[in-house]
Amino acid sequence: MQRTDIAKYGEFGLIDHLTQNIKISNKSTQKGIGDDAAVLSYDGLKTLVTTDLLLEGIHFDLTYVPLRHLGYKSAIVNFSDIYAMNGQPRQITVSLGVSKRFAVEDLEELYAGIQLACEKYNVDLVGGDTSASLTGLTISITCIGEAEEEKIIYRNGAKENDLICVSGNLGAAYMGLQLLEREKTVFAGADNFQPDFSGKEYILERQLKPEARKDIIDILAQNDILPTAMIDVSDGLSSDIKHICKQSNVGCRIYEERIPLDYQTAVMAEEFNLNVTTVALNGGEDYELLFTVPLHLYDKVSAIKEIRVIGNITNPSLGECLISRDDTEIGLKAQGWNSLEGNE
């Protein structure tokens, strides 16, 4: 297939080419791509803004990450941050740093993934920038969202005796990453290798094409449940519950037997000789919602299929602990993802 040099279009021509089919769907978007700045209007709602920077070799490896999946995931991680504030994402801007090894067709694939995510979650792409890069591919996405002031949820609202809840299951994305890294090593140097991933599709999808939990935000609203604190699980359960505890000045108890796990995650952890609880605590990139609710909502929140009560908030003097299956109390450590340490 013929590949088109980016220089053929130039910076502004490239942006025009990649965004020519983008349509606006939110009434808060008054002006999108095509001027010096986007124009947004939220009719009295509070504005939420978040941004994520993804660097090739640090946050993703193009040996096994398709560009379309990368674009989708790059958008999703931003949407997830807005949902974690109990808001709705409405617009994104996309900025790229691109080295010479990429062609126009590569960026078309990346943008196809971004646009797919935007269409699925009803978000408008309203601007961005492109630049040459000497270090591979850099993706920076800023997401703008909206929320009613009284319904915004912060990390600092957890109270003693609150229940700790989490959506979905944990550790799957990390095990998907371990599987991909293993196959990359096994097939290093081989041309057109096709590893057999049958029976492992779920954990691969959780790593390569995660979803933001808009459905959980909708379910909570439908059940008149307003969490007291919330965060998305991007760095790992242990790290993220510690963020809530620090911001709220509280302690916590997480019960090992209550941590939700998928079957494929458990099987793959055993294959890698890893403790599945450790994987769930420290894996990261699950993008599930971790939140606290008042104790009197136990029956209501427990009845929701996609939500699991996994512990409770305590006095800060009791610290942050995991209660093991044999009732041993183990201090939680923030051992999840930290890009500044370069861990994988």
Residue by residue, DSSP assigns 114-144 as: HHHHHHHHT-EEEEEEEEE-SSS-EEEEEEE
Q: Is 263 exposed, middle or buried (0-12, 13-18, 19+ CB in 10 A)?
A: exposed
Domain range annotation of the chain: 6-151, 163-341
With a cut of 70, which residues of the chain have pLDDT below it?
Answer: 1, 11-12, 35-38, 189-193, 336-344
Which residues, other chains included, contact 22 with Cβ-Cβ below 8 Å and sequence gap of 6+? 32, 33, 115, 124, 125
Q: Supply 335's token pair.
A: 């051992």
CA angle in degrees (0–180, nearest 5) for 80-112-24:
70
Contact 252, 312 (CB under 8 A): yes
242 neighbors 332 (Cβ within 8 angstroms): yes
pTM comes to 0.91
User: Length of the chain in residues, anyone?
Assistant: 344
Q: What's the maximum distance between 2 C-alpha atoms anywhere in the chain? A: 65
Q: Write the DSSP string, 258-296.
A: GS---HHHHHHHHHTT--HHHHHHH------EEEEE-GG
Per the CB < 8 A criterion, the answer to whether 331 and 320 are in contact is: yes
Residue 186 to residue 141: CA distance in whole angstroms: 33
Q: What is the pLDDT of residues 49-97, one digit of tens each?
A: 999 999 999 999 999 999 999 999 999 999 999 999 999 999 999 999 9
Q: How many CA atoms lie within 13 A of 73 on its CB side?
A: 23
* 96 bridge partner residues: 130, 139
CATH topology of domain 163-341: Phosphoribosyl-aminoimidazole Synthetase; Chain A, domain 2 (3.90.650)
pLDDT in tens, 298-330: 999 999 999 999 999 999 999 999 999 999 999
**Hey, is 314 helix, strand or coil?**
strand
Q: What is the pLDDT of residue 294?
A: 98
pLDDT in the model for residue 344: 41
The predicted pLDDT at position 73 comes to 98
Q: What pLDDT is recorded for position 340?
A: 45
**β-bridge partners, 126:** none
Query: Which pLDDT score, from 0 to 100, does residue 135 have?
Result: 85
- Cα 207 from chain centre: 10
Superfamily of domain 6-151: PurM-like, N-terminal domain (3.30.1330.10)
Residues 94, 95, 100, CA angle at the centre, nearest 5°?
A: 130
As a whole number of angstroms, the distance between CA 252 and CA 305 comes to 23
